[in-house]
Amino acid sequence: MQSAPITKYRPFPPVQLPGRQWPSRIITRAPIWCSVDLRDGNQALAQPMSVEEKLEYFDLLVKIGFKEIEVGFPSASQIEFDFCRRLIDEKRIPDDVAIQILCQCREELITRSIEALRGAKNTIFHLYNSTSPAQRKYVFNASRADIVKIATQGTIWVKQHSRPLVAAGTRMRFEYSPESFTSTELDFALEICEAVTDLWQPTVTDKIILNLPATVEYTTPNVHADQIEWMSTHLTRRDRTLISLHTHNDRGTGVAATELSLLAGADRVEGTLFGNGERTGNVDIVTVAMNLYTQGVHPGLDFTDINGIREVYERCTRLEVPVRSPYAGELVFTAFSGSHQDAINKSWAVQKPDAPWDVLYIPLDPADIGRSYKAIIRINSQSGKGGVAYLLEHEFGFSLPKLMHKEIGRIINDVADAKGTELTSADVHDAFRQEYLERTAPVALQHFKTTERDSAVKCDATLTIEGVAHKLTGDGNGPIDAFVHSLGATSLPQFEVLSYSEHSLGVGSEARAVSYIQIKTARGHTLFGAGIDTNIELASIKAIVSAINRMLAKR
Each residue of 193-211: pLDDT tens digit?
999 999 999 999 999 999 9
Q: What is the mean pLDDT of residues 473-479?
A: 95
490: Cβ contacts below 8 Å, ≥ 6 apart: 463, 465, 470, 472
What pLDDT score does 425 carry? 86
512's enclosing H/E stretch is strand 512-521
What single-letter DSSP state applies at residue 37?
Answer: I
Where does the pLDDT of residue 510 fall: very low under 50, low under 70, confident under 90, or very high at 90 and above? confident
CA-to-CA dists, residue 24 to 137, 264, 295, 371, 457, angstroms: 39, 10, 16, 34, 74
- Pairing label, strands 512-521, 495-505: antiparallel
What pLDDT score does 378 carry? 67
| Cis-peptide, bond into residue 442, ω within 30° of zero | yes
Where does the pLDDT of residue 374 fall: very low under 50, low under 70, confident under 90, or very high at 90 and above? low
Q: What is the mean pLDDT of the chain?
A: 94
When mean pLDDT is compared across 12-16, 150-154, 337-341, the lowest value belongs to 337-341
Q: Is the dihedral of CA 71, 76, 77, 81 positive or negative?
A: positive
Question: Distance (Å, rounded) from C-alpha 364 to C-alpha 304?
Answer: 12
What pLDDT score does 135 carry? 95
Residue type, 54: K
- Pairing label, strands 456-465, 468-476: antiparallel
Helix, strand or coil, per DSSP, at residue 202: coil
Tens digit of pLDDT for each residue in 447-472? 999 999 888 999 999 999 999 999 99
What pLDDT score does 308 carry? 96
In b/e form, how buried is each residue of 42-63, taking b as 16+ CB within 10 angstroms?
Answer: bbbeeebbeeebbbebbebbbe
Burial of 83 (0-12, 13-18, 19+ CB in 10 A): buried
pLDDT at position 111 over 80: yes
Q: Among 27, 95, 37, which residue's Cα sits nearest to residue 299?
A: 27
Question: Distance (Å, rounded) from C-alpha 536 to C-alpha 518?
Answer: 17
In sequence order, what are the beta bridge partners of 461?
Answer: 448, 472
In the chain, the domains with their CATH numbers are 24-317 (3.20.20.70), 338-437 (no CATH), 443-554 (3.30.160.270)
Task: Quickly count: other Cβ atoms within 10 Å of residue 348's Cβ.
Answer: 17
When mean pLDDT is compared across 136-150, 295-309, 333-347, 492-506, the lowest value belongs to 333-347
